[in-house]
Structure 1
Amino acid sequence: MSFQYVEEDGRFVAKDADGLEVGEVTFTRDGDDFLVIDHTGVDPDYRGKGIAEELVRHVAEKAKNEGLKIDPVCSYAKKELERKPEYSELLKQ
């Protein structure tokens, strides 16, 4: 099963093949230096398919491309970013 990941205002969404929104990660900009991830959620019928992980990856790539750090207020995003060494330089210290 493949999903499309789309950036919208303050969030990335995951959509299934029919265009149904099945997950989201929301974030806000904190000043000029940070993205604050405040929520990650996936429809229960779609959990366990790597959607939340992919949503967080999209925010991480956005931060990296824009020279920003990430302040993960969301517990899932915090755990995901802390467990992957490639994201360590993106985390707010």
Structure 2
Amino acid sequence: MQITEENLSSGGRYVANLDGAEAEMTFSRASPQLIIIDHTGVPDSLRGKGVGQALALHAVQAARRGGWKIIPLCPFFKAQAQRNPDWRDVVS
């Protein structure tokens, strides 16, 4: 699975492509040190394949590399963060 990033000045998205389908995790940038993850969309054809988890992990790794924090408004990302206490260094 390949995950790419699309960045705009006000936010962006992480995009996973697998089996000809696309899943996304969108975010808005509250400041240079803070993003808000607000949506995760995984089509039915990719459900159960770990795509959402891969997007969430990618977001955490990007935050660690970039030195910013994440506010999880997206219910899926919020649930993943609760299951992964080792993400507390970047999840507010």
| TM-score bin, normalised by smaller chain | 0.7 to 0.9
1:73: Cα distance to partner?
A: 0.5
- Kindly, what percent of the aligned residue pairs are identical? 36
1:45: Cα distance to partner?
A: 1.1
Contact 1:27/1:36 (CA < 8 Å) preserved in 2? yes
| Structure with greater strand share of residues | 2
* TM norm structure 1: 0.87
Match of 1:14 in 2: 16
Q: Deviations over 1:21-41 (max 9, x none)?
A: 421000111112211000001
Match of 2:39 in 1: 39
Gaps of 5+ in 2: none
* TM norm structure 2: 0.88
Gaps of 5+ in 1: none
Match of 1:4 in 2: 2
Number of equivalent positions = 88
Contact 1:13/1:21 (CA < 8 Å) preserved in 2? no
Partners of 1:29 and 1:5 in 2: how far apart? 19
Give SS of 2:59's match. helix
What is the RMSD of the two structures over their aligned residues, measured on CA atoms? Answer: 1.2
